């Protein structure tokens, strides 16, 4: 039986036993193991394995992860080999889980993608979602117990250890202390109706409301979140049912949770690999689609710039159409394209509420703000802002302006 510490200690015998698990490798003998730390896309270790009779070492990647990703690679990825890295070892121990994977080579980064590469990604996303379409119970049986709403409400929880709770439990927890604002001050009051219908999302909606209240307290964010956006966000937080209802009508499937461009690896041999499965959950496939499209507009390029819409190699509408057509090919009559398309605005609204407003809330909690300072810094150029204040917000401002503009259009179409 392989032990994690033996592999981490670079024991050649342990690594030899690891490789011997694959009948195609014909029992190679590892003679030496070297390592280097890596940081992209997440911190981990690259191991260089020298093999007897081979002139060049082979490389494998290892990383500490959560139980969700380790479980995915152990039980689910073998059925999705066409777009996931091969997993050699999966040790499940909560947030101290550890996995060893083939390295997914990134020969074709996002800034080089054309419409062909993007459509190839969308086809593979459709294959992922079609493989577990309307199979919620099958996923639960292998241990994928988080639904999307639970994952959004508590991203740090572990599927194997989180106690079962009902929607009412989460809502009641927030009702007991629902005035939450920036730095713990009284904030936006969520209605009891909003808390009841939001279910597992009640905690994250409260965080979103806190971010909204912080923005309102300093007069909004010129060019990003002005009065019409702030009012629309407040209305949706007060009554999220028009957003949640169409999503809850869709069949559930396996979600990656964050299938953004930075986690796709395209090799020179035409391989597509999706990595970082830490946020897997069960939910409507349209959430993954919207996550990909929205982040496609804002992945960071090497020099720190952010991709502009007029640089897209493919339009948002074409991406939606390509994915929907691919799902139709995979599922046939089992896929209702009309219902799915109608849910896209709701998914976009939910994605922004569960990702960007809580992040804005965290920015305000980490930094001292008042209206005078905020207004002064809003008059700075992006370069001045990045140098003197908060680099992440400066780089994100043009991107978030487009995100919330699309969000507002989606909100108006609910």
Per-residue model confidence as pLDDT tens digits over 393-412: 667 778 888 899 999 999 99
pLDDT of the residue at 217: 83
Claim to verify: residue 227 and residue 262 sit in the same structural domain? yes
Residues 139 and 83 in one domain: no
How many structural domains does the chain have?
A: 2
User: Are both 252 and 348 inside the same structural domain?
Assistant: yes
Same domain, 258 and 297: yes
- Confidence band (pLDDT; 50, 70, 90) for 26? low
- Residues 140 and 13 occupy one common structural domain: no
Q: What percent of the chain has pLDDT over 70?
A: 78
- 3 state SS of 185: coil
Predicted local distance difference test score (pLDDT) of residue 200: 81
pLDDT of 345 over the 90 cut: yes
Give whole-number Cα distances, 252 to 27, 107, 152, 164, 255, in Å: 41, 33, 15, 19, 9
pLDDT at residue 389 tops 70: no
Shared-domain flag, residues 146 and 74: no
Mean pLDDT calculated for residue range 48-54: 93
User: What is the tens place of the pLDDT at every residue in 178-217?
Assistant: 333 333 333 345 788 888 888 888 888 888 888 888 888 8
Is there a domain that residue 110 lies in? no
Q: Confirm whether 108 is domain-assigned.
A: no
Which domain-ending residue is among 83, 103, 123? 103
Cα–Cα distance measured from residue 33 to residue 37, given in angstroms and rounded to the nearest whole number: 14
pLDDT at 23: 59
Within this chain, do residues 243 and 292 fall inside the same structural domain, yes or no?
Answer: yes
Kindly give the interhelix angle for 115-131 and 316-331, rounded to the nearest 10 degrees. Answer: 40
- For residues 92 and 162, membership in a common domain is answered with no
pLDDT in tens, 271-283: 999 999 999 999 9
Do 212 and 296 lie in one domain? The reply is yes
Confidence band of 355 (pLDDT split at 50, 70, 90)? confident
Residue 186 shares a structural domain with residue 55? no
DSSP letter at 199 equals G
- With CA atoms as reference, report the closest residue to 138 among 248, 251, 258, 254: 254
Of 21, 157, 137, nearest in space to 78 by CA: 21
* pTM for this model (two decimals): 0.84
Q: Is 122 domain-assigned?
A: yes
10 Å CB burial of residue 66 (0-12, 13-18, 19+) is buried
Mean pLDDT for all residues in the chain: 83
**What does the pLDDT read at residue 123?**
96
Q: 200: how many CB neighbours lie within 10 A of its CB?
A: 21
Residue 196 makes CB contacts below 8 A (sequence gap 6+) with: 168, 171
Residue where a domain stops, chosen among 77, 103, 129? 103
- Between 357 and 148, name the one with better pLDDT: 357
In this structure, the number of other CB atoms found within 10 A of the CB of residue 358 comes to: 20
User: Cβ atoms within 10 A of the Cβ of 190, count?
Assistant: 24
Q: Does 375 lie in the same domain as 395? A: yes
Residue 95's CATH number:
3.30.200
109, part of any domain: no
**Domain boundary pick from 75, 103, 131:** 103
Q: What is the CATH number of the domain that holds 147?
A: 3.90.1200
| Predicted pLDDT of residue 359 | 83
* 393 inside domain: yes
- Higher per-residue confidence, 196 vs 308: 196
Considering the domain boundaries, does residue 70 fall inside one? yes
What is the domain extent for residue 46?
A: 4-103
Q: What is the pLDDT of residue 162?
A: 37
169 in the same domain as 304: yes
| Selected residue with higher pLDDT from 287 and 111 | 287
Confidence band of 379 (pLDDT split at 50, 70, 90)? confident
The crossing angle, in degrees rounded to 10, of helices 344-366 and 285-296 is 60
Residue 15: inside a domain, yes or no? yes
């Amino acid at each position: 039986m392989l032990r994690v510490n033996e592999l981490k200690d670079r024991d050649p015998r342990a690594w030899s036993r690891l490789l011997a698990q694959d009948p195609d490798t014909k029992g190679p003998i590892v003679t030496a193991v070297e390592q280097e730390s890596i940081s992209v896309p997440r911190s981990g270790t690259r191991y260089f394995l020298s093999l007897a009779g081979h002139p060049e070492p082979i490389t494998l990647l290892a990383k500490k992860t959560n139980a969700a990703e380790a479980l995915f690679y152990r039980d689910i990825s073998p059925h999705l080999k066409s777009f996931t890295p091969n997993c050699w070892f999966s040790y499940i121990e909560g947030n101290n889980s550890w996995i060893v994977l083939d390295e997914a080579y990134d020969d074709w980064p996002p800034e080089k993608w054309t419409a062909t590469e993007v459509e190839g990604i969308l086809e593979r996303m459709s294959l992922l979602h079609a493989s577990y379409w309307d199979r919620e119970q099958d996923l639960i049986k292998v241990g994928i117990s988080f639904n999307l709403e639970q994952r959004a409400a508590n991203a740090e929880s572990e599927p194997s250890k989180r106690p079962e709770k009902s929607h009412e439990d989460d809502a009641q927890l927030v009702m007991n202390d629902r005035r939450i604002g920036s730095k713990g001050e009284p904030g936006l009051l969520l209605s009891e109706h909003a808390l009841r219908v939001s279910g597992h999302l009640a905690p994250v909606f409260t965080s979103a409301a806190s971010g909204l209240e912080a923005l309102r307290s300093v007069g909004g964010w010129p060019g990003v979140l002005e009065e019409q956006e702030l009012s629309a966000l407040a209305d949706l937080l007060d009554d999220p049912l028009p957003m949640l209802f169409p999503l809850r009508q869709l069949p559930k499937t396996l979600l990656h949770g964050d299938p953004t461009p930075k986690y796709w690896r395209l090799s020179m041999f035409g391989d597509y690999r999706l990595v970082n499965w830490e946020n897997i959950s069960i939910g409507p496939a349209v959430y993954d689609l919207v996550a990909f499209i929205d982040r496609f507009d804002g992945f960071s390029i090497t020099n720190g710039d952010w991709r502009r819409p007029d640089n897209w190699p493919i339009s948002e509408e074409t991406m939606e159409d390509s994915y929907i057509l691919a799902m139709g090919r995979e599922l046939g009559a089992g896929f209702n394209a009309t219902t799915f398309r109608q849910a896209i605005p709701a998914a976009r609204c939910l994605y922004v509420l569960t990702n960007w407003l809580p992040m804005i809330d965290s920015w305000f909690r980490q930094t001292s703000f008042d209206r005078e300072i905020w207004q002064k810094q809003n008059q700075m150029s992006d370069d001045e802002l990045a140098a003197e204040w908060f680099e992440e917000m400066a780089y994100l401002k043009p991107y978030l302006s487009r995100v919330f503009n699309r969000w507002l259009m989606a909100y108006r179409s609910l």
